[in-house]
C-alpha cells in the first residue's frame, strides 16, 4: 500500500467519524447522501477551499501541500497528535516539526517519572523544553557539587540557569566551562526559544542569560547547535563512588565542596514519544586516568 492510498484511507476514516451536526451543519432530511460523517464538500467548506481542491488532496494528487493546509485539515477533522503525524508522513514524507498541543514537551507521563526514579547505577533525568527537571534519579542528583556534610540535592530546578549562570557550575563543576559547556548550551537556548517563542520559562532564561556579564557575550555570539546527544564533556562528579580495591583519586575543587572525581560525561539523549520536546538523558561517566 502506497502513501496515496494510506492518505485516502486516513482522511476518509476521519471524515466518517465526525457528525456534521456537531460542527454546525443541519440534520440531513429527505433524499440525498447517506454515507456517515462529513462529506468532502463539507470539509472543503470548513477549509475555505473548493471541493475539487480538497478531493484532489484526499486522492493524493496535491504534490506538496503546505504545512498550514495540513494543520487546518487536522483541526477540521479533529485529529489527535498521532493522527496528525500520520497525515504529515503520508502527505509529505516526514513528521510535523511542531506538535499540535502547545503544552507538549512541558510534562511527561507519571510512568516515565517512576521509571527514571528507579534507575540505579547510571545517572539519568528528564527535562522539558525549557530544561526544567521533570524527573531525576538519585545518581543524577549526587553528581552535583555539595557543601561538605550536606545531603545531595539539585542545586537548581532549571538546568540551563544552573549551567550558564551559577558559580558552582562555571567555576567548579563544569570543566572548561566557556568552550565545552557555555558555548553549546547558549546556542541550544537560542534554538529552543526560536522553536517555542511563547514559552514563558524560555523567555525568562533569554533575558537572564542575555543580561549576565559573563554568559551574555557568549550567548549573543553562538547560534548553531541543536542537541547534545553523543557529546562527551569534562566535569567533576561529586557523587562518584570509588570502586572497591582501587586508589581514590578524588580531589577538591575548593574548600567549600566535598572531594569530587574529574572525568568525562557522555550525554545519551532520547525523547519520550508522548511528550515531543522533552528529553530523557542517560549520563555514563568515565573517571580521568591518573
CATH of domain 110-287: 3.30.450
CA distance 104 to 279: 12
Ranges in the chain annotated CATH 3.30.450: 110-287
Q: Which three cell numbers stand for residue 97?
A: 516539526
Q: Are 209 and 188 in contact (CB under 8 A)?
A: no
Cross-strand pairs, 133: 127
Q: Which pLDDT score is estimated for 257? A: 86
CATH of 3-92, one of 1.10.10.10, 1.10.260.40, 1.20.1090.10, 1.20.210.10: 1.10.260.40
pTM: 0.75
> What contacts 24+ positions apart, CB below 8 Å, involve 145-148?
145/172, 145/173, 145/236, 145/238, 145/253, 145/257, 145/258, 145/260, 146/238, 146/257, 146/258, 147/256, 147/257, 147/258, 148/256, 148/257, 148/258
Q: Which pLDDT score is estimated for 227? A: 73
139-162, pLDDT tens digit by residue?
999 999 877 777 888 999 999 999
Ranges in the chain annotated CATH 1.10.260.40: 3-92
The low-confidence residues of the chain, meaning pLDDT below 70, are 1, 27-35, 223-226, 290
Please give the radius of gyration of the chain, using alpha carbons only, rounded to the nearest integer. 25
Helices 51-58 and 3-17: angle between axes, nearest 10 degrees:
120
Q: Which pLDDT score is estimated for 138? A: 95
The alpha helices in the chain, defined as continuous H runs, are 3-17, 40-46, 51-58, 67-76, 81-92, 110-117, 138-141, 159-165, 167, 183-195, 200-211, 215-219
Amino acid at each position: 500500500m502506497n502513501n496515496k492510498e494510506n492518505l485516502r484511507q486516513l482522511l476518509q476514516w476521519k471524515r466518517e467519524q465526525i457528525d456534521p451536526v456537531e460542527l454546525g451543519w443541519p440534520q440531513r432530511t429527505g433524499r440525498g447522501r447517506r454515507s456517515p460523517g462529513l462529506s468532502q464538500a463539507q470539509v472543503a467548506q470548513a477549509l475555505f477551499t473548493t471541493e475539487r481542491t480538497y478531493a484532489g488532496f484526499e486522492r493524493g494528487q496535491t504534490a506538496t501541500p503546505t504545512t498550514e493546509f495540513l494543520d487546518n485539515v487536522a483541526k477540521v477533522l479533529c485529529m489527535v497528535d498521532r493522527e496528525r503525524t500520520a497525515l504529515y508522513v503520508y502527505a509529505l514524507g516526514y513528521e510535523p516539526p511542531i506538535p499540535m498541543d502547545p503544552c507538549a514537551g512541558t510534562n511527561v507521563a507519571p510512568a516515565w517519572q517512576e521509571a527514571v526514579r528507579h534507575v540505579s547505577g547510571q545517572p539519568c533525568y528528564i527535562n522539558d523544553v525549557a530544561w526544567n527537571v521533570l524527573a531525576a534519579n538519585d545518581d543524577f542528583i549526587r553528581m552535583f557539587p555539595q557543601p561538605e556534610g550536606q545531603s545531595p540535592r539539585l542545586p537548581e530546578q532549571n538546568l540551563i540557569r544552573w549551567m550558564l549562570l551559577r558559580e558552582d557550575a562555571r567555576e567548579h563543576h563544569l570543566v572548561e566551562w566557556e568552550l565545552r559547556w557555555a558555548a553549546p548550551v547558549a546556542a541550544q537556548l537560542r534554538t529552543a526559544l526560536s522553536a517555542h517563542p511563547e514559552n514563558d520559562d524560555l523567555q525568562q532564561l533569554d533575558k537572564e542569560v542575555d543580561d549576565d556579564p559573563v554568559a551574555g557575550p557568549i550567548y549573543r555570539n553562538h547560534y548553531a547547535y541543536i542537541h547534545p546527544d553523543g557529546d562527551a564533556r569534562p566535569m567533576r562528579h561529586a557523587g562518584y563512588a570509588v570502586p572497591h580495591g582501587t586508589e581514590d583519586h578524588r580531589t577538591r575543587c575548593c574548600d567549600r565542596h566535598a572531594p569530587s572525581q574529574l572525568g568525562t560525561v557522555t550525554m545519551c539523549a532520547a525523547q519520550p514519544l508522548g511528550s515531543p520536546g522533552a528529553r530523557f538523558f542517560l549520563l555514563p561517566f568515565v573517571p580521568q586516568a591518573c
